[in-house]
Amino acid sequence: MKGLAAFAVVLVAVVVTTAARGGHEFPVYPGYYPHEIRIETIPPEQAAGLLLQNKIQAYIGLEPRFSGAVPESLRAVESLGSFVIVRVNPESSLARTNVSACAAIRTVVRDIAKRRGEWMFHPYPVTPFHGDYLYHVDLAEAAKTRLVSNAADASAPVVRSLRVRATSALARSLVRPDWFTQRPEWDVAVEEANVADLVASSTMAVNGWLGPPGVRTGWSHAARLLASSVDDEGTRERVQADLRRLETRAYDGAVERINLERELVAALAAGCHALVAGYTVKREYISIEYSAGIENIGFDSISGLNSPIFIRTVKLKDFPWNGWLSLGTDTRPAAAWNPVAGFTDGFGRLMWSAVGDPALIPSPNDVGWMLNRISDVQANPAR
């Protein structure tokens, strides 16, 4: 398996170097590849030691477990990790009316807002890691103010003790002990949704095309997480109509598009059967030690190091233009190894970032695209 991955990368490197029309006298090498890339599945408890021993130069996935402070020879790369979502059980008696559902979900969200931990309270589905967050800043701040405010609202008080289910260790840490339940009967659930899995499950890669275009946007994530929980018929129809227009680009210019995105997310975030309460930050580590480490790293604000931009910008300090790159990941190969229906697991996505060669790759910090290569194009004819 390692030999196959390394062989494929060598082939891609030859193609890219030919297309770049560059020599060693130039400091910039777009579409750069080490001539050998080794990807290994490594448990998080072993990753820290291997990074410190320079046996791997980056670890993609769960945060490694360090026995003490992180040494200066390592650098953390931060990206969006997961959403924290609060949902009302549709089978609960509290879901029978909008008033009681709102009271239940807001009670839980306001309580977990006071709890510290490895998460950020942010009761809005578009986060600062999303490229379209600038269009939603005011709505996000208004949602936070509305939820944590002590002012009276339309919610009725919860008439009995809540039964709250938690689906992850982080979620369990946010739930009050007297609310927590593991029984089949529950009122509200606190859940985590992994962003990398959310993006991967919506992405298609065909003939060098990565899409759909909105797969990494905040409004798309909001729709994936919350649209199924909208119970009001009118709101559901409006959400579906706005979503169709955004997905088919049925709008006139950027202003109309931005207004559609804001209306869609505001409608989804105003519901009382599911709310995004916050998000976690994923930290992945790279070795920056001289001379066994790496430098000039590009990474994605949504998917972190498991992205095409990382493989195309990583530069080894040992070699000016080439060398051996060793990567660790926390996931084992589980999907089919083919470019049509495969490479959908974490390991496969990382490998396809190395062996695939699309003309365009996602921009690392926004919702657009960037060229994979540079071509010697003359803007104006020579005189």
DSSP string, 200-265: HHH-EEETTEEE-TTTTSHHHHHHHHHGGG---HHHHHHHHHHHHHHHHT-SSHHHHHHHHHHHHH
Sequence-ordered list of residues with C-beta below 8 angstroms from that of 50, at least 6 positions apart, any chain: 42, 56, 59, 328
Q: 250 in a domain, yes or no?
A: yes
Phi then psi for residue 275, to 5 deg, are -140, 140
Predicted confidence at residue 20, as pLDDT, reads 36
Round to whole Å and give the CA distance between 128 and 46: 32
DSSP string, 123-156: -SSS-TTSTTGGGGHHHHHHHHHHHH--S--SPP
Q: 343 in a domain, yes or no?
A: yes
Asked if 270 and 320 sit in the same domain, the reply is no
Q: Where among 234, 256, 280 does a domain terminate?
A: 280
How large is the angle between the packed helices 195-202 and 346-355, nearest 10 degrees? 60
Asked if 52 and 90 sit in the same domain, the reply is no
Asked if 101 and 52 sit in the same domain, the reply is no
Q: 318 in a domain, yes or no?
A: yes
Q: Where among 245, 280, 315 does a domain terminate?
A: 280
Asked if 210 and 347 sit in the same domain, the reply is no
Q: Where among 234, 249, 280 does a domain terminate?
A: 280
The pTM of the full predicted model, rounded to 2 decimals, is: 0.83
How far, in Å, are 80, 174, 234, 277 from residue 191 at the CA level? 16, 10, 27, 10
Asked if 62 and 184 sit in the same domain, the reply is no
Predicted confidence at residue 326, as pLDDT, reads 94
Round to whole Å and give the CA distance between 214 and 242: 13
Contacts 24+ apart (CB under 8 A), 210-216: 210/358, 210/360, 210/361, 210/362, 212/247, 213/367, 214/246, 214/247, 214/367, 216/130, 216/131, 216/302, 216/362, 216/367
Structure tokens at 106: 């807001």
Residue numbers in the chain where pLDDT is lower than 70: 1-33, 150-160, 205-211, 320-322, 373-383
Asked if 208 and 318 sit in the same domain, the reply is no
Q: 245 in a domain, yes or no?
A: yes
Characterise 117 by phi-psi region: left (phi > 0), alpha (psi -120 to 50), beta (else): left
Q: 268 in a domain, yes or no?
A: yes
Asked if 244 and 328 sit in the same domain, the reply is no
Predicted confidence at residue 321, as pLDDT, reads 63
Asked if 68 and 208 sit in the same domain, the reply is no
Phi then psi for residue 8, to 5 deg, are -65, -40
Asked if 166 and 263 sit in the same domain, the reply is yes
How large is the angle between the packed helices 218-226 and 253-269, nearest 10 degrees? 30
What residue has token string 């209306």? 263
For the stretch 277-324, pLDDT in tens is 999 999 999 999 988 899 878 899 999 999 888 988 888 888 766 678
Characterise 179 by phi-psi region: left (phi > 0), alpha (psi -120 to 50), beta (else): alpha
Asked if 95 and 56 sit in the same domain, the reply is no
Q: Name the DSSP class of 360.
A: E
Helix, strand, coil % (nearest 5) of the chain? Answer: 35, 20, 45
Predicted confidence at residue 1, as pLDDT, reads 43
Round to whole Å and give the CA distance between 382 and 98: 69
Round to whole Å and give the CA distance between 59 and 50: 9
CA dihedral 143, 146, 149, 154 (to 10 degrees): -150
Q: 380 in a domain, yes or no?
A: no
Structure tokens at 223: 């729709």
What residue has token string 């992180």? 70
Asked if 64 and 109 sit in the same domain, the reply is no
Round to whole Å and give the CA distance between 188 and 163: 7
Round to whole Å and give the CA distance between 275 and 277: 6
Asked if 154 and 292 sit in the same domain, the reply is no
Q: How many domains are there within the chain?
A: 2
Pairing relationship of beta strands 58-60 and 209-211 according to DSSP bridges: unpaired
Predicted confidence at residue 266, as pLDDT, reads 95
Which residues form the domain of 51?
2-73+288-371
Q: Name the DSSP class of 157.
A: P
- Here the CATH number for the domain that contains residue 97 is 3.10.105
Predicted confidence at residue 46, as pLDDT, reads 94
Q: Name the DSSP class of 72.
A: T
Q: 227 in a domain, yes or no?
A: yes
Predicted confidence at residue 24, as pLDDT, reads 41
Q: 382 in a domain, yes or no?
A: no
